[in-house]
Amino acid sequence: MRLIIIILVSFIGINGFGQEAFRLWRKMNQIRNDKFDLILPEVMKENNIDMWIIMNREDNFDALYY
């Protein structure tokens, strides 16, 4: 009986951590999307930048590639 309780408690703890990690991941994605969609175009316009080119070498992708 104790083993079942320990397993259930540990599963609930792991599940809670996974949900928190997923929530933080979604929040960071939203912040990144807002920066690209709202802030970056305005800053580029203010600084007379027409185009933003990112160069990647083969199989060496930038962190923002995806």
What are the residue ranges of helices labelled H in 1-66? 2-34, 40-46
pLDDT range class, residue 64, cuts 50, 70, 90: low
Q: What span, in angstroms and rounded, lies between the C-alpha atoms of 21 and 15?
A: 10
Q: Is the pLDDT of residue 34 over 70?
A: yes
| CB within 8 Å of 62: residues ≥ 6 apart | 54, 56
Percentage of the chain with pLDDT > 90? Answer: 18
Domain ranges in the chain? 1-50
Closest CA to 52 of 30, 35, 27: 35
Strand partners, 60: 57
| CB within 8 Å of 64: residues ≥ 6 apart | 32, 54
* pTM reported for the whole predicted model: 0.50
Question: Which amino acid is it at 44?
Answer: M
